[in-house]
């Protein structure tokens, strides 16, 4: 058997080499190297722990892999390693596994003695007699003292860092850059230590006038990972500073949100908004326009590959809503105008779309929607600059509608309640929303299907002359047939579902018709799920969260139907399935898009300093 036990010899050699090299010499170079190898070290310690746990006895371990004792010992003596929570946990558990309750033979006795010594060193070393005496007499534990000392040190260093950044700006006096950089390396090892968070924030916010003072890459990476895994809580400004300094970190954050949202097919709007807010992206975007542009562009790239994905569209809508809310909360003197965030959109269109329906009187909705529809429609002969105010193509117009999807919900409501004679612009808006990139022919076909469905829906939900039960059944059957026939065409099926659910929710026609119509959906449990998501979206966007009795009633019916389908979890055939079934593919697409612009790629945006200045022209020129 090899003397490295279950580990490849070269790997053990590497880590032993590191442990020896690091030793106890706590120099800046060692600190830097430990920070650089931290991730790998954690993984190796994790593997080692697993092996120790399955080993029969300490004697066995020491025979099979004699390096273990020395390796653990050396690491335990290195406070750079023990400062990291995960490494520390692993080391202590390794010691626990190696401690023999009933030691057999001198080897195990020696091992036990050694572990006791290591612990003694870890616990009492470096604390002078004075400290111990004072603590004993005032009744403080060493743990409480060191926790207090850490807080004090952090407060002092925060002051130093802030002062350093001020003096650099004003006088360029004594250069404290090395110290600031060194602190950032130290903090790489403290990212999961809550007491160090203020210092981490101060380092991030410290303006790097001198390139030597820039925080280390490993630090930025470690902070971002800890932030995303919610093991570190930072002030908003620090988060903005982190993402402004490190575009890669911002992309990781955005992609993580995408992954999170896409892994849960369609959470209710409210839950989705909580997830989005939790990502800190809307708030950071509101505070920093360049961040907003990058995040939007990643979403845009993801949607380009999967424009039909409802999950993505909902995410974008939720993100925009949260962003607008956060933007509204920023002090007016500290914020840029909204047009800076949407540079390719004419201000009048932008303002019309971002307006919340609840803030307008309901009788103004039809004219408002008519105006939005007209603005979004691609003017014939647009190459003659029929509308020179737009600086982007149809995809971006559609994107704008998706971002402000609440007006699509309003269109649904108006379509149900208004005169069929004036419904054409509303139908167009819904068509545009569901068929953004279809050609003329396909769109005409879909329009015909939509008109047919509308005919039956109007008849079914006519409150003035409700159809007798046999006729009601006929309409329901036709509508059910349409849904089934187009279940393979996600865009059309999505449109049909939206129309059906809108009539159930907003018409004043008989609820019995809704019961019948929703009941035919139960053959497709996924449709029911989609319908519930739509309804929660209506509730959230239109009534501003206020209880609307009919909406509630329809939701209850749908829930009953869902119970009847015996499946609360959508699977297989969904109106969105064709687009969103392969979540990982979507995320990969988005990642590739993100990588494309971090590495220059087709868009030729160089990193990192040129990024923000080059974003606006890039967006503008992409029409």
Rounded to the nearest whole angstrom, what is the least distance from the CB of residue 68 to other proteins in the complex?
Answer: 15
CB neighbours of 21 closer than 8 A, spacing ≥ 6?
Answer: 30, 33
Rounded to the nearest whole angstrom, what is the least distance from the CB of residue 181 to other proteins in the complex?
Answer: 11
CB neighbours of 285 closer than 8 A, spacing ≥ 6?
Answer: 291, 292, 295, 323, 326, 341
Rounded to the nearest whole angstrom, what is the least distance from the CB of residue 117 to other proteins in the complex?
Answer: 10
Rounded to the nearest whole angstrom, what is the least distance from the CB of residue 166 to other proteins in the complex?
Answer: 18
Of the two residues 112 and 418, which places its CB atom closer to other proteins in the complex? 112
Are residues 503 and 456 in contact, defined by beta-carbon separation less than 8 angstroms?
Answer: no
CB neighbours of 491 closer than 8 A, spacing ≥ 6?
Answer: 308, 434, 435, 438, 446
Note the residues at the interface with other proteins (CB under 8 A): 26, 28, 31, 79-80, 82-83, 85, 88-89, 92-93, 95-96, 99, 101, 112, 115-116, 119, 122-150, 152-154, 156-157, 160, 179, 182-183, 186, 189-190, 193, 195-196, 199
Helix axes 394-403, 310-329, angle to 10 degrees: 70
Closest among 51, 54, 85, 57 to 71, alpha carbons compared: 51
Residues in the chain: 623
Rounded to the nearest whole angstrom, what is the least distance from the CB of residue 79 to other proteins in the complex?
Answer: 4
Structure tokens at 232: 């570190």
Of the two residues 30 and 288, which places its CB atom closer to other proteins in the complex? 30
Of the two residues 119 and 447, which places its CB atom closer to other proteins in the complex? 119
Rounded to the nearest whole angstrom, what is the least distance from the CB of residue 74 to other proteins in the complex?
Answer: 15
Structure tokens at 486: 């187009």
CA–CA dist 100, 119 (Å, integer): 15
Give the three-class secondary structure for 600.
strand
Rounded to the nearest whole angstrom, what is the least distance from the CB of residue 124 to other proteins in the complex?
Answer: 7
Q: Please tell me the number of Cα atoms within 13 Å of 570 on its side-chain side.
A: 23
CA–CA dist 315, 320 (Å, integer): 8
Structure tokens at 421: 């004679």
Rounded to the nearest whole angstrom, what is the least distance from the CB of residue 160 to other proteins in the complex?
Answer: 8
CA–CA dist 457, 507 (Å, integer): 10
Cβ count near 371 (within 10 Å) = 14
Give the three-class secondary structure for 558.
helix
Rounded to the nearest whole angstrom, what is the least distance from the CB of residue 167 to other proteins in the complex?
Answer: 17
Of the two residues 83 and 605, which places its CB atom closer to other proteins in the complex? 83
290 CA to centre of own chain: 18
Of the two residues 153 and 422, which places its CB atom closer to other proteins in the complex? 153
Rounded to the nearest whole angstrom, what is the least distance from the CB of residue 118 to other proteins in the complex?
Answer: 10
Of the two residues 126 and 440, which places its CB atom closer to other proteins in the complex? 126
Of the two residues 123 and 378, which places its CB atom closer to other proteins in the complex? 123
Rounded to the nearest whole angstrom, what is the least distance from the CB of residue 11 to other proteins in the complex?
Answer: 25
Rounded to the nearest whole angstrom, what is the least distance from the CB of residue 333 to other proteins in the complex?
Answer: 33
CA–CA dist 264, 262 (Å, integer): 5
Indicate if the alpha-carbon torsion angle 449, 451, 454, 460 is positive or negative.
negative
Of the two residues 83 and 415, which places its CB atom closer to other proteins in the complex? 83
Of the two residues 187 and 540, which places its CB atom closer to other proteins in the complex? 187
CA–CA dist 605, 623 (Å, integer): 17
CA–CA dist 586, 608 (Å, integer): 26
CA–CA dist 393, 390 (Å, integer): 8
Of the two residues 141 and 270, which places its CB atom closer to other proteins in the complex? 141
CA–CA dist 578, 489 (Å, integer): 8
Q: Kind and range of the H or E element at 103?
A: none
Rounded to the nearest whole angstrom, what is the least distance from the CB of residue 172 to other proteins in the complex?
Answer: 20
Of the two residues 147 and 329, which places its CB atom closer to other proteins in the complex? 147
Of the two residues 13 and 152, which places its CB atom closer to other proteins in the complex? 152
Of the two residues 184 and 314, which places its CB atom closer to other proteins in the complex? 184
CA–CA dist 412, 417 (Å, integer): 9
How would you write 421-483 as a 3-class SS string?
HHCHHHHHHHHHHHCCCCCHHHHHHHHHHHHHHHHHHHHHCCCCCCCCHHHHHHHHHHHHHHH
């Amino acid at each position: 058997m090899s003397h490295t036990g279950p580990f490849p010899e070269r790997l053990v050699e590497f880590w032993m080499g590191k442990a020896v090299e690091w030793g106890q010499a706590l120099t800046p170079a060692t600190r830097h190297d430990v920070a650089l190898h931290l991730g790998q070290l954690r993984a190796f310690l994790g593997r080692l722990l697993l092996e120790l746990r399955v080993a029969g006895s300490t004697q066995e371990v020491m025979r099979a892999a004699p390096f273990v004792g020395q390796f653990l010992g050396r690491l335990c003596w290195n406070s750079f390693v023990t400062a990291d929570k995960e490494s520390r946990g692993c080391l202590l558990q390794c010691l626990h596994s190696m401690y023999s309750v009933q030691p057999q033979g001198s080897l195990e006795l020696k091992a036990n003695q050694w572990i006791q010594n290591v612990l003694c060193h870890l616990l009492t070393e470096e604390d002078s007699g004075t400290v111990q005496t004072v603590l004993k007499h005032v009744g403080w534990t060493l743990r409480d003292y060191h926790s207090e000392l850490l807080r004090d040190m952090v407060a002092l260093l925060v002051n130093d860092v802030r002062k350093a950044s001020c003096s650099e700006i004003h006088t360029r006096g004594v250069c404290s850059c090395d110290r600031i950089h060194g602190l950032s390396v130290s903090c790489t090892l403290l990212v999961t230590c809550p007491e160090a968070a203020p210092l981490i924030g101060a380092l991030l916010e410290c303006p790097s006038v001198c390139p030597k003072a820039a925080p280390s890459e490993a630090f930025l990476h470690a902070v971002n990972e800890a932030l995303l895994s919610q093991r570190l809580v930072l002030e908003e400004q620090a988060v903005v500073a982190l993402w402004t300094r490190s575009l890669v970190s911002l992309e990781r954050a955005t992609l993580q949100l995408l992954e999170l949202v896409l892994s849960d097919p369609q959470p209710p709007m409210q839950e989705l908004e909580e997830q989005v807010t939790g990502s800190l992206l809307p708030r950071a975007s509101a505070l920093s326009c360049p961040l907003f542009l990058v995040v939007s562009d990643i979403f845009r790239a993801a949607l380009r590959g999967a424009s039909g994905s409802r999950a993505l569209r909902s995410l974008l809508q939720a993100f925009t809503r949260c962003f607008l809310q956060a933007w509204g909360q920023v002090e007016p003197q500290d914020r840029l105008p909204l047009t800076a965030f949407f540079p390719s959109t004419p201000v009048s269109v932008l303002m019309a779309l971002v307006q919340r329906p609840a803030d307008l009187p309901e009788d103004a909705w039809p004219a408002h929607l008519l105006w939005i529809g007209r603005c979004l429609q691609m003017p014939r002969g647009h190459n003659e600059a029929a509308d020179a105010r737009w600086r982007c193509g149809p995809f971006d117009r559609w994107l704008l509608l998706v971002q402000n999807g609440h007006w699509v919900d309003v269109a649904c409501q108006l379509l149900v309640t208004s005169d069929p004679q004036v419904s054409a612009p509303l139908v167009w808006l819904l068509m545009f929303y569901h068929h953004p990139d279809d050609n003329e022919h396909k769109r005409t076909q879909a329009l015909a299907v939509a008109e047919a469905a509308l005919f039956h829906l109007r008849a079914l939900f006519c409150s003035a002359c409700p159809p007798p039960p046999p006729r009601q059944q006929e309409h329901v059957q036709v509508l059910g047939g349409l849904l089934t026939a187009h279940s393979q065409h996600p865009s059309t099926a999505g449109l049909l579902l939206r129309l059906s659910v809108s009539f159930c929710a907003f018409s004043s026609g008989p609820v019995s018709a809704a019961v019948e119509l929703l009941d035919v959906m139960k053959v497709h449990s996924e449709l029911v799920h989609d319908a519930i998501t739509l309804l929660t979206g209506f509730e959230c966007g239109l009534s501003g969260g206020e209880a609307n009795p009919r909406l509630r009633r329809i939701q209850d019916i749908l829930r009953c139907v869902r119970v009847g389908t015996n499946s609360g979890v959508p699977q297989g055939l969904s109106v969105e399935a064709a687009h969103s079934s392969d979540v990982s593919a979507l995320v990969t697409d988005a990642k590739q898009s993100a990588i494309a612009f971090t590495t220059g790629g087709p868009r030729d945006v160089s990193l990192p300093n040129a990024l923000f200045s080059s974003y606006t022209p890039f967006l503008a020129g992409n029409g």
